[in-house]
């Protein structure tokens, strides 16, 4: 047979004409198999089919005998079709008769039945003698075993000679093609495919003791045992991660080589003055982060730095330090927050910390005579001659959607004219009409939104070469920081300012526990402390959810805490009203603030010591962590109480809440979140433009990520343009197809 000429670029039809044109459907035949593969799965070539990996395996040594099935337990059995019985039920008056097909399967120890209602065609799918794998929950019906929610895989049909050994792969299929057809195509492909050369450098594969490529691809489809399968998976995961890291290394190398950035003055009068005047002792972590930021900003290539720190770890100081580096080098800086509330909070912190540095609000500074010494220090520094050295001056402004009219015009003019050194704002900063005179640093506070769009938009405002500092309060899992964020430098605030007492977290599931939690609020309020109650109006745009929060607020106000001063805060309130409610809470005139998740960001109330979260099961882990970060900010002991109304079998909700109870460490929670949700939901790889990972799981493969990363970076160090590895350069181009710009251009 002229069969060993198959190559990876051949169309799937070349594997086997009979298999490739197989059609499914009993009455009306569907399209041919190769058409389904092309149209629903984007599989055209033999090479693409080889990368279509099984979604699971049935290990024949692990399957159960029918006799040993336990009622109520998930099980897999391998059995032969014994007979197929079709009946028509006697119709009820006025109804059409129904058909019921019962397929009986047998193994050497017993029989099991699957009933199919109103699917008459099933009778033609199963033929006596066929071998199938059945998975489902075992049940007993009229003395016979049945399977509930069964999954059936046809392993071998009549005349089908695929011998798959002990472990049978089950490939993802689609409407119009069965897993069995895909398996047979792959089997036949390997029969005809000559041994393929390894696409990876040989010394690298040897140093990492990885399985050769051809063996790995064969073994992932048709493993002989678990150990071989594990080695095959390791090898193919490594390939995915290696290419990803090579792309990351490539981009980093290019950015570092670039000389278009601003070389800032890391040390100067403003930063020195800030360190002298901060009203607290910076933590070691803050000092380290400020040094890192200073170094990165002093370099001649643009900075891209990710500052990770739990809520309350003191990111504002680091951000402000970066801004002062830009300003003392003669440029402007901007801080962009995700919400108006948070922008306001930043502006307040900035105003506080900057007062001693000589910072004044632009809108207050402007009407006065610019020659006056106002720009140089506060009132106490006023004596001419005698007093302390005048503080170096700078101006800052707030720009959000609610800065309007004349004020807005003045702010915009100040930014365009260069008189405003520092702008704090929302996405209003990146809108049309905002022109900077000389922006050299953008600080983007992303909280937990890993948005790449706005960061890029703000970068555009500075002509593309400005330094960027991204702050995130939800730590990014380590694997994510090494891959999808791997082109960024990372600084970590892993130390809390001293004097903080850890927050105690409890899950509450009974009425009695709820009473105790409410009692805790009363006790704390009596001691002069304050509390939050968060209601799960998850969708602030949804009127009914907000309504529910309002009703709950009313109930708490009148029935549960009639003696306390209670206020309500939600996302549909006007900014002015929100600000008013928060101001009264901040000033201590309110004991209990009932709110939706708008308090998630922007609230710094050291006097708040209790947080009750209603329906905590509806919140994501990152969100719960954010919420909890609103308390425990002062010197008092704090409590976070999570009301869990989930069903007992809602294992994900349980896992989230238990993780919250177990730890307050944001990095641990980030990894747990990744594990629970999978990277697909946590991070939009499509938005990032990075290649998808088929086998590698960022939640589990930290070790492989690290290995692949160090090999990729080392290889690129030796061979910067990949001149001696053209096949790797090709692979990069292919895998990064959607984001070739990201890779090769700025
Ligand atoms: P983050 O933005 O990381 O959540 P902030 O910068 O808002 O944290 O700081 C939280 C609070 O802790 C603020 O009130 C801030 O003044 C205070 N703070 C920051 N750093 C320190 C420190 N080193 N020592 C004491 N308090 C600090
Ligand atoms: Mg720089």
* Residue 315 CB less than 6 A away from ligand 1: yes
- Identify the bridge partners of residue 595 per DSSP, sorted by sequence position: 534, 569
pLDDT tens-digit map of 461-511: 555 678 989 888 777 777 777 877 777 788 889 888 876 777 899 999 999
pLDDT at 304: 85
pLDDT number for residue 272: 95
Least confident of 432-446, 529-543, 659-673: 529-543
Average pLDDT over residues 229-237: 97
Report whether pLDDT(448) > 70: no
Work out the average pLDDT over 684-712: 80
Residue 56: beta bridge partners?
A: 170
According to DSSP, the β-strands at 504-508 and 332-336 are: unpaired
pLDDT band, residue 635 (cuts 50/70/90): confident
What per-residue confidence (pLDDT) applies to 446? Answer: 74
The percentage of the chain sitting over the pLDDT mark of 90, rounded to a whole number, equals 44
Q: How far out from the chain centre does Cα 736 lie?
A: 20
* Ligand 1 atom nearest to CA at 629: 4
Nearest CA to ligand 1 atom 6: 314
- Quote the CA–CA distance of 363 and 369 in Å, as a whole number: 13
| Structure confidence at residue 461 (pLDDT) | 59
pLDDT of 413 reads 94
Tracing tokens 């998976």 back to the chain, one arrives at 233
pLDDT of residue 464: 61
On the question of pLDDT at 386 being above 50, the answer is: no
Give me the count of residues in the chain: 746
Substitution site in 290, 310, 312 for ligand 1 pocket (most atoms within 8 Å of beta carbon): 312
* Region of poorest pLDDT, from 83-97, 224-238, 732-746: 732-746
pLDDT of 375 > 70? The answer is no
Let me know: does 593 contact 530? Beta carbons within 8 Å: yes
Are the CB atoms for 599 and 532 separated by under 8 Å? Answer: yes
Between the CA of 313 and the centroid of ligand 1 the distance, in Å, is 6
Q: Read off the tokens for 273.
A: 């003055």
Answer yes or no: is the C-beta of 286 below 6 A from any ligand 1 atom.
yes
Q: Is the CB of 461 under 6 A from ligand 1?
A: no
pLDDT at position 543 is 67
> How much distance in Å is there from the Cα of 116 to the middle of ligand 2?
68
292 alpha carbon – ligand 2 mean position (Å) = 12
Q: Which of 113-127, 160-174, 213-227 has the highest mean pLDDT?
A: 213-227
pLDDT tens digits along 6-40: 999 999 999 999 999 988 866 677 899 999 999 99
Of all protein residues, the one whose alpha carbon is nearest to atom 2 of ligand 1 is 315
Kindly give the residue spans of alpha helices, DSSP state H, lying in 369-489.
Answer: 405-417, 453-461, 478-482
Ligand 1, atom 10: closest residue by C-alpha: 312
Q: Which of 28-32, 392-396, 687-691, 717-721 has the lowest mean pLDDT?
A: 687-691
Is the CB of residue 280 below 6 angstroms from any atom belonging to ligand 1? yes
Ligand nearest to the CA of 468: 2
Q: Is 634 in the pocket of ligand 1 (CB under 6 A)?
A: no
**DSSP-assigned beta bridge partners for residue 305:** 469, 489
Q: Is 314 in the pocket of ligand 1 (CB under 6 A)?
A: yes
Q: How confident is the model at residue 370 (pLDDT cuts 50, 70, 90)?
A: very low
> Which tokens hold the place of 296?
């990165």
144 secondary structure, DSSP code: E
Rounded (10°) angle between helices 284-298 and 315-328: 30
Residue 689 has pLDDT above 80, yes or no: no
317 lines ligand 1 (CB under 6 A): yes
Give the tens place of pLDDT for each residue, 538-569: 555 666 666 677 787 788 889 999 999 998 88
pLDDT in tens, 285-320: 999 999 999 999 999 888 888 898 887 889 999 999
Mean pLDDT over 431-444 rounds to 87
Q: Which of 7-16, 55-64, 609-618, 703-712 is predicted least confidently?
A: 55-64
pLDDT of residue 627: 87
Structure confidence at residue 278 (pLDDT): 94
- How far is the C-alpha of 275 from the C-alpha of 270, rounded, in Å? 9
Choose the most confident range, by mean pLDDT, from 71-75, 643-647, 656-660: 656-660
pLDDT range class, residue 409, cuts 50, 70, 90? very high
Compute the distance between CA of residue 539 and CA of residue 546 in angstroms, rounded to an integer. Answer: 8
Instruction: Give residues with Cβ within 8 angstroms of 68, minimum separation 6.
Output: 109
The mean pLDDT of 410-417, rounded to a whole number, is 94
> Residue 389 above 70 pLDDT?
no
Minimum mean pLDDT range among 103-107, 488-492, 558-562, 641-645: 488-492
Distance of CA 581 to the CA centre of its chain: 32
At 280-289, the pLDDT tens digits run 999 999 999 9
CA distances from 50 to 9, 21, 54, 182, 237 (A): 11, 19, 10, 10, 14
Token pair belonging to 68:
């040993």
Residue pair 392/358 in contact (Cβ under 8 Å)? The answer is: yes
What does residue 103 show for φ and ψ, rounded to 5 degrees?
-100, 130
| 438 and 331 Cβ atoms separated by less than 8 Å | yes
Can you list the alpha helix ranges (DSSP code H) found in 356-468?
Answer: 362-365, 405-417, 453-461
Tokens at residue 671, please?
Answer: 């990894």
Looking at the CA of 285, which ligand is closest?
1
Of 365 and 201, more confident: 201
- Give the pLDDT band (50/70/90) at residue 451: very low
Tell me, what's the pLDDT at 167? 85
Q: For residue 387, what pLDDT band results from cuts at 50, 70 and 90?
A: very low
pLDDT value, residue 148: 78
> Which pairs count as long-range contacts for 519-522, CB under 8 Å and 24+ apart, including other chains?
520/610, 520/639, 520/641, 521/561, 521/564, 521/592, 521/610, 521/612, 522/561, 522/563, 522/564
Instruction: Compute the Cα dihedral for 368, 373, 378, 384 and give only its sign.
Output: negative
The answer to whether residue 136 scores a pLDDT higher than 60 is yes
Helix axes 315-328, 340-355, angle to 10 degrees: 70
Q: Which of 18-32, 167-181, 453-467 has the highest mean pLDDT?
A: 167-181
Report which DSSP code applies to 738: G
Using the atom order of ligand 1, give the atom closest to the CA of residue 316: 6
Distance 211 CA to ligand 2 centre (A): 43
Q: Examine the pLDDT at 670 and tell me if it is beyond 60.
A: yes
Neighbours of 718 (CB within 10 A): 9
- pLDDT above 70 covers a percentage of the chain that reads 86
Q: Which residues contact 51 (CB under 8 A, 6 or more apart)?
A: 217, 694
Nearest CA to ligand 1 atom 16: 314
Instruction: Return the best residue to mutate from 497, 498, 631 for the ligand 1 pocket (most ligand atoms within 8 A of CB).
Output: 497
Residue 700 in this model has a pLDDT that exceeds 80:
yes
Q: Are 643 and 636 in contact (CB under 8 A)?
A: no
Q: Quote the mean pLDDT of the chain.
A: 84
What's the pTM value of the predicted model, to 2 decimals?
0.70
Nearest-CA residue for atom 20 of ligand 1: 314
d(CA 164, CA 221): 9
Mean pLDDT calculated for residue range 316-338: 95
pLDDT for res 557? 86
For position 163, what pLDDT does the model report? Answer: 59
Model pLDDT, residue 602: 56
**134 strand-pairing partners:** 77, 152
Given a cut of 60, whether residue 114 has pLDDT beyond it is yes
Per-residue confidence (pLDDT) for residue 539, from 0 to 100:
57
| Spatial contact of 150 and 133, defined as CB atoms under 8 Å apart | no
Q: Give CA separation, 705 vs 479, 613, 709, 745, in Å.
A: 7, 36, 6, 25
Q: Are 36 and 30 in contact (CB under 8 A)?
A: yes
**Run of H or E residues at 507:** strand 504-508
pLDDT of residue 186: 95
Per-residue HEC secondary structure of 547-559 comes to HHHHHHHHHHHHH
Our answer on whether the CB atom of 311 is closer than 6 Å to any ligand 1 atom is yes
Mention every residue, 6+ apart, whose C-beta is less than 8 A from residue 339.
426, 598, 601, 602
509: helix, coil or strand?
coil
The H-assigned helical ranges of 615-682 are 621-628, 651-662, 666-682
Q: How far is the CA of 316 from the centre of ligand 2 (A)?
A: 20
């Amino acid at each position: 047979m002229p069969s060993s000429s198959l190559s990876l670029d051949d169309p799937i039809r070349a594997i086997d004409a009979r298999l490739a044109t197989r059609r499914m459907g009993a009455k009306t035949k569907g399209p041919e198999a190769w058409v389904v593969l092309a149209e629903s799965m984007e599989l055209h070539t033999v090479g693409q089919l080889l990368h279509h990996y099984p979604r699971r395996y049935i290990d024949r040594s692990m399957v159960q005998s029918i006799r040993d099935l336990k009622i109520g337990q998930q099980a897999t059995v391998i059995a032969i079709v014994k007979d197929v019985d079709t009946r028509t039920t006697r119709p009820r008056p006025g109804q059409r008769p129904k058909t019921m097909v019962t397929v009986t399967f047998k193994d050497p120890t017993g029989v099991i039945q699957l009933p199919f209602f109103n699917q008459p065609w099933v009778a033609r799918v199963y033929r006596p003698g066929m071998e199938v794998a059945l998975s489902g929950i075992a049940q007993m019906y009229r003395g016979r075993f049945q399977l509930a929610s069964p999954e059936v895989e046809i392993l071998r049909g009549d005349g089908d000679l695929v011998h798959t050994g002990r472990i049978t792969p089950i490939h993802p299929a689609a409407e119009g093609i069965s897993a069995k057809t895909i398996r047979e195509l792959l089997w036949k492909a390997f029969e005809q495919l000559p041994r393929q050369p390894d696409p990876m450098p040989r010394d690298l594969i040897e140093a990492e003791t990885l399985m050769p490529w051809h063996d790995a691809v064969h073994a992932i489809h048709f493993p002989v045992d678990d150990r071989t399968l594990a080695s095959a998976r390791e090898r193919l995961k490594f390939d995915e991660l290696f290419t990803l890291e090579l792309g990351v290394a490539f981009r980093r190398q290019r950015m570092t080589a670039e000389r278009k950035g601003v070389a800032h003055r890391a040390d100067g009068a403003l930063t020195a003055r800030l360190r002298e005047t901060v009203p607290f002792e910076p933590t070691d972590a803050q000092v380290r982060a400020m040094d890192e930021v200073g170094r990165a900003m002093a370099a001649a290539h643009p900075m891209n730095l990710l500052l990770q720190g739990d809520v309350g770890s003191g990111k504002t100081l680091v951000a402000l330090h970066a801004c002062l580096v830009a300003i003392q080098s003669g440029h402007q800086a901007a801080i962009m927050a995700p919400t108006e509330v948070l922008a306001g909070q930043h502006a307040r912190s900035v105003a506080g910390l900057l007062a001693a540095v000589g910072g004044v609000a632009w809108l207050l500074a402007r009407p006065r005579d610019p020659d006056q010494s106002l720009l140089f220090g506060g009132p106490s520094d006023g004596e001419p001659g005698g007093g302390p050295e005048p503080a170096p001056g700078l101006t800052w402004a707030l720009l959000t959607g609610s800065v309007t009219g004349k004020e807005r015009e003045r702010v915009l003019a100040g930014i365009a004219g260069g008189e405003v050194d520092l702008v704090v704002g929302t996405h209003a900063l990146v809108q049309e009409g905002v022109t900077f005179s000389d922006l050299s640093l953008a600080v983007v506070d992303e909280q937990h939104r890993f948005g790449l769009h706005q960061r890029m938009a703000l970068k555009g405002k500075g002509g593309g070469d400005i330094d960027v500092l991204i702050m995130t309060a939800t730590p990014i899992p380590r694997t994510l920081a090494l891959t999808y964020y791997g082109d960024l430098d990372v600084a970590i605030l892993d130390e809390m300012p001293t004097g903080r007492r850890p927050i105690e977290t409890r899950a509450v599931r009974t009425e009695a526990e709820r009473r105790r939690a409410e009692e805790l609020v009363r006790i704390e309020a009596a001691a002069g402390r304050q509390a939050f109650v968060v209601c799960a109006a998850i969708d602030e745009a949804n009127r009914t959810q907000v309504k529910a929060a309002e009703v709950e607020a009313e109930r708490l106000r009148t029935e549960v805490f009639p003696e306390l001063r209670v206020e309500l805060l939600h996302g549909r309130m006007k900014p002015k009203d929100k600000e008013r409610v928060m101001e009264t809470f901040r000033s201590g005139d309110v004991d209990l603030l009932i709110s939706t998740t708008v308090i998630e960001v922007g609230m710094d109330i050291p006097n708040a010591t209790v947080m009750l979260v209603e329906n905590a099961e509806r919140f994501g882990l990152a969100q719960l962590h954010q919420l909890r970060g609103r308390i425990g900010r002062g010197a008092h002991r704090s409590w976070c109480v999570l009301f869990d109304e989930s069903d007992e079998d809602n294992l994900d909700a349980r896992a989230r809440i238990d993780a919250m109870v177990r730890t307050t460490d944001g990095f641990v929670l980030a990894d747990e979140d990744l594990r629970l949700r999978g990277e697909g939901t946590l991070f939009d790889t499509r938005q990032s433009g990075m290649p998808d990972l088929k086998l590698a799981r960022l939640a589990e493969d930290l070790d492989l990520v690290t290995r692949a990363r160090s090999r990729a970076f080392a290889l690129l160090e030796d061979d910067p343009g990949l001149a001696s590895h053209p096949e790797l350069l090709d692979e990069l181009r292919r895998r990064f197809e959607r984001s070739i710009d990201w890779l090769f251009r700025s």
